[in-house]
Amino acid sequence: MIGLLSRFLVRFLEALGRHATWTLFGGVLLGLILPDLAAFARPALAPSVALILTAALLRVDWAIMYGYARRPGVVLALALWCMLVSPVVTWVLVQFLPLPPGLATAIILMAAAPPILGATGLALVLRLVGALAAVAGLLSTVVTPLSVPPLALALLGLELEVGLAEFMLRLAIVIGAALALALIVKRLTRPEQLRTQAPRIDGLFVLFMLVFAVGIMDGVTAVVVSDPGKAALWLGAAFIANPALQILGALAFAGLGRQRALTAGLLTGNCNMGVLLAALPAEGNFDIVLYFALAQLPMFMLPALLTPGYRWLLATPRR
């Protein structure tokens, strides 16, 4: 019986890994269709974030990560772009658009947020540079408490009620736990074993991302039902802002080659708005909270839709 369950679990994880992008596509819709399931998954959001990063770190070539750390020019440039240049450019562009104030504020704050911690795994699924995504994403996340509050005040006149020490402690717990667990597994497992188990690790990454995708939708369905027009506008803006930021990021780093440039774009457009929710006042702008929730849809759905485009760009020789 145990052997049968074990084989089923292995095949299940392998199937998730093979169909990663479309599984995540369906997962975020599942959270909307089944609000009770989203509410059930909500408490697992924080653990799932740490486990997402752990699974991604197990699949990255650490030698390449060390290489980026020893030659940090590209990583520092990418982190600077994500945490400073991108939100300023977004702020400038938003000034020319007839957007409701709450929506404009939310888009700028999104651009100021660090890349999602699952970007490393997404980069691997899309055949981009996972090691670059991991190092630049971690650095951007670490500096978030120092970069976002002054940017929010300078660009928006918005004072985020951030307890700096508490905020950094939460980030340290999530990142530290993921790194520690990944290090333990790396020490206890031979490299060839990790390579053999890669399809199952990919499946675990997708499973943890699926839990996050469902849980983050808690409460969104009620808003969609009560005010569908507003929800549609906010959702449409999210589906435009995400790829627009990705294009800007890719163009900014086009000189590094397609694979790195597309990785930079992936990090620029897929932002971890969840970390900012903790910084907003409890009685904060509901328009921002609504946008942050709905903006999860393009993050989980676009990889599936854009996978053929990524493969075409990576396969097409430069002229």
Provide the pLDDT for residue 312.
85
Mean pLDDT across the stretch 87-101? 93
Q: Is the pLDDT of residue 255 over 80?
A: yes
Alpha-carbon distances, residue 4 vs 8, 9, 48, 199, 204 (angstroms):
6, 9, 27, 19, 19
Inter-residue contact 96 to 283 (CB < 8 Å): no
Tell me the pLDDT band of 163, cut-offs 50, 70 and 90.
Answer: low
Inter-residue contact 151 to 271 (CB < 8 Å): no
Provide the pLDDT for residue 95.
92
Instruction: Identify the three-state secondary structure at position 271.
Output: strand
* Residue 140 CB coordination number (10 Å): 24
**Alpha-carbon gap, residue 185 to 190, rounded angstroms:** 9
Whole-number mean pLDDT of the chain? Answer: 83
What's the maximum distance between 2 C-alpha atoms anywhere in the chain? Answer: 63
Mean pLDDT across the stretch 161-169? 64
Provide the pLDDT for residue 71.
75
Tell me the pLDDT band of 78, cut-offs 50, 70 and 90.
Answer: very high
**Alpha-carbon gap, residue 61 to 182, rounded angstroms:** 12
User: Cα 272 to the chain's mean position, in Å?
Assistant: 5
Token digits of residue 276: 């900012």
Provide the pLDDT for residue 278.
58
Q: Which residues pair with 115 in a beta bridge?
A: 271
- How is domain 21-300 classified at the architecture level of CATH? Up-down Bundle (1.20)
> What are the sequence ranges of the domains in the chain?
21-300
Mean pLDDT across the stretch 50-79? 82
One DSSP character per residue, 283-317 reads: T--HHHHHHHHHTHHHHHHHHHHHHHHHHHHHHSP
Q: Is the pLDDT of residue 249 over 80?
A: yes
* Tens-place pLDDT, residues 181-223: 888 988 888 878 888 888 888 888 888 888 887 887 887 888 8
Q: Is the pLDDT of residue 136 over 80?
A: yes
**Alpha-carbon gap, residue 53 to 90, rounded angstroms:** 27
Provide the pLDDT for residue 1.
63
Tell me the pLDDT band of 159, cut-offs 50, 70 and 90.
Answer: low
Alpha-carbon distances, residue 22 vs 8, 185, 305 (angstroms):
20, 28, 8
Provide the pLDDT for residue 94.
94
Residues with Cβ within 8 Å of residue 53, at least 6 apart in sequence: 117, 118, 120, 174, 175, 178, 179, 182
Residue 116: which of 31, 208, 185 has the closest Cα?
208
Q: What is the pTM of this model?
A: 0.80
Tell me the pLDDT band of 146, cut-offs 50, 70 and 90.
Answer: confident
Inter-residue contact 267 to 159 (CB < 8 Å): no
Mean pLDDT across the stretch 80-99? 94
Mean pLDDT across the stretch 77-82? 95
One DSSP character per residue, 187-226 reads: HHS-HHHHHHTHHHHHHHHHHHHHHHHHHTTTTHHHHHHH
* Tens-place pLDDT, residues 257-298: 999 999 999 999 999 887 776 556 555 567 887 898 889 889
Token digits of residue 158: 């918005």
Provide the pLDDT for residue 293.
83
Provide the pLDDT for residue 167.
66
**Alpha-carbon gap, residue 58 to 56, rounded angstroms:** 5
Provide the pLDDT for residue 26.
80
What is the percentage of the chain residues whose pLDDT exceeds 90? 24
- Segment holding 248, helix H or strand E: helix 228-252
* Tens-place pLDDT, residues 104-116: 999 999 999 999 8
